[in-house]
Amino acid sequence: MEENKQSAEAPQEQGAELRPIPEQEPNRLVEFLLNVLRGAAIGIAFIIPGFSGGSVAAILGIYEKLVGSVADLFKHFKSSILFLLPILLGMILGIAALIFPIQWGLQNFPIPTVSLFVGLALGGLPSVTEKVKGGRPKWTHIIACIVPLAVAASLCFLPLAGEVDLLHQNFGGYLLLILIGAVGACALVVPGISGSMLLLIFGYYNPLVQLLTGHLLMGQDVGVSLLVFLCTGIGVVGGFFGISVLMKYLLKKFPRGTYFAIIGFIIGSIPAVYTSVVRESGTMLMSNPWYFVVAALLLLVGIALSLCLVCFAKKKSDNS
């Protein structure tokens, strides 16, 4: 009797052991906060002349999802908004919290300040190069990397245009603002292309900043200022969605070649970062050798920090 009782209980115990363990739902609050931090990093990239928010998104591993959410905003509205909202919030918080410290660093110690962020970009490259693994690259992949690299690097050799008078424009000038806004939207989507640097080259960066801080916020020429930013905003929104749709198509049809192009853009943008900082701040090479020692140390610190983040993210992904 006891043996039969034990044998009858055994399958029940065995079945209890084989019962599947329910999967734990992802912590939505943790994911929300992580996206806020990612958005803050993207926002900070907009403050640094020559840096691109798209590069940061690619390094953080959210580029495809970011582009897809923007391109499918009206198709999958709820899921897109839930992903984009914390990133947008993080961008606003990042810019608001660090714009003055970063501007102070760029004005007083531009090369060391930029070197820290260049190190962060270099250290994060393995997370992007991971996307192009899978055999020897084709000659089309090599071209896809070299051409964007050359385009991004050539930006630092373009002469600066004269600054535009935004307060006294004709109808054609306002139409041109829409086009300029669309070009500036490249920084939001295309990695390695800095919208602030493009605006600087075309002569619109400083006038737009001065119009915002010196006129609109001070209550002067409010009507003209709002019209200028309205036209620029229309261009930015239109270009943002248009380029997102294009990048989503390229990532779907030519994923490996597109990531080779992204790598080229990121690497080619590095000399443009230093050049744009020198142009904007007017700071040339310093005679004090410690200036460059600090810059080199901050470059290494940035690389080390970024590599640690990449390794941590990879380990977390492997465990999940």
Name the residue with higher pLDDT: 160 or 227.
Answer: 227
What is the band of 25 on the pLDDT scale with cuts at 50, 70, 90? Answer: very low
- The DSSP code for 166 is T
Are the beta carbons of 51 and 188 closer than 8 angstroms? no
Q: How far is CA 181 from CA 78, 147, 297, in A?
A: 27, 24, 37
- Does residue 21 carry a pLDDT above 80? no
What's the CA gap between 239 and 241, in Å, rounded? 6
Which sequence spans correspond to the domains of the chain?
27-279+289-319
Judged by average pLDDT, the poorest of 20-29, 68-77, 181-190 is 20-29
Q: In the predicted model, what is the mean pLDDT of the chain?
A: 77
What's the CA gap between 90 and 97, in Å, rounded? 10
Which residue from 71, 86, 70, 79 is spatially nearest to 38, judged by alpha carbons? Answer: 86
What's the CA gap between 126 and 307, in Å, rounded? 8
What's the CA gap between 92 and 29, in Å, rounded? 19
Judged by average pLDDT, the poorest of 12-16, 137-141, 280-284 is 12-16
What's the CA gap between 95 and 45, in Å, rounded? 9
Residue 279 in tokens: 């142009």
